[in-house]
């Protein structure tokens, strides 16, 4: 019995050392003053989104949690208000799997909010099936969307030149959240312990988004790619300006915007940094 307890203790100690030693801690950051600024965080009811919203609220920002599930969104907003003492944390319903919901959210936001300063496009899902508009949700399409995110930020920055609005693509790292809650049951006994051991937690995963949203002096890097709170060079396909422009134009057609589709609602004057 004694040897068994000793062995179990050594294994637990090794496991703990690995967990904390192999994962890098987030960099120390000065907390910026964000009173008077409004932020939208999509997917803000859990995971990286909730951690991001919590930190923005601690900085004094008005934070809109834009998420699909109303009970979870309202609960997250209450929790963040209680924890930070910031009463300016609210929930607004947004289902990003529905273009109808996206348009309704944009209309409601523009009606009730005078400004938007920070937009954190955090929400993500890895699952099967399709959205109500026919867009695919299998795992491979999730992987392809990561390249699209980087290209989108690159083209958006080009189109925003001269507006003082900036944008960034970020990689939060491998983070232990509910993103892969649809992992097959047979894989979970292997995946979940590995995620707990090697992946970042949500607060650590939020650091790069917060860095790009609040750090002064990054404006000249608009459209670029950040990971681990540092500027990084993505693979060559993600630096292809022609591909970025083609993606933008195809996206406009798919969502019904641009010359051939309906006109988008007017954008708020201050989005981003």
User: For this structure, is 168 an active site residue?
Assistant: no
Report d(CA 234, CA 225) in Å as an integer. 7
Cα 90 vs. chain centroid, distance in angstroms?
18
- Active-site annotation holder among 15, 142, 168, 225: 142
Contacts of 9 (CB under 8 A, 6+ apart): none
Report d(CA 117, CA 133) in Å as an integer. 29
Beta strands in the chain (DSSP E): 38-42, 62-67, 89-93, 118-120, 169-171, 225-227, 230-232
Q: Give the residue from 78, 7, 75, 20 showing the smallest Cα distance to 204.
A: 20
Contacts of 183 (CB under 8 A, 6+ apart): 191
| Residues annotated as part of the active site | 142
């Amino acid at each position: 019995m004694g040897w068994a307890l000793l062995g179990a203790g050594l294994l637990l100690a090794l496991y703990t050392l690995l967990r904390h030693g192999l994962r890098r801690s987030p960099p120390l950051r000065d907390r910026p003053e964000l009173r008077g600024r409004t932020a939208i965080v999509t997917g803000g009811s859990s995971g990286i989104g909730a951690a991001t919203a919590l930190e923005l609220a601690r900085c004094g920002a008005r934070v809109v949690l834009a998420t699909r599930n109303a009970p979870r969104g309202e609960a997250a907003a209450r929790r963040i208000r209680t924890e930070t003492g910031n009463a300016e944390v609210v929930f607004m319903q947004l289902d990003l799997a529905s273009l109808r919901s996206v348009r309704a959210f944009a209309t409601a936001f523009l009606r009730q909010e005078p400004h938007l300063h920070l937009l954190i496009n955090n929400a993500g899902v890895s699952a099967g099936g399709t959205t109500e508009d026919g867009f695919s949700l299998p795992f491979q399409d999730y992987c392809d969307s990561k390249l699209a995110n980087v290209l989108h930020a690159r083209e958006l920055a080009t189109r925003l030149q001269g507006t003082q609005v900036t944008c960034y693509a970020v990689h939060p790292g491998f983070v232990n959240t509910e993103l892969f809650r649809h992992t097959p049951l047979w894989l979970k006994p292997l995946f979940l312990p590995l995620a707990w051991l090697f992946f970042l937690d949500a607060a650590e995963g939020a650091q790069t988004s917060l860095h790009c949203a609040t750090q002064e002096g990054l404006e000249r890097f608009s459209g670029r790619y950040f990971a681990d709170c540092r500027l990084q060079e993505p693979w060559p396909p993600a630096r292809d300006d022609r591909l970025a422009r083609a993606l933008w134009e195809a996206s406009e057609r798919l969502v019904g915007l641009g010359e051939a589709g309906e006109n988008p609602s007017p954008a708020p004057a201050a989005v981003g940094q």
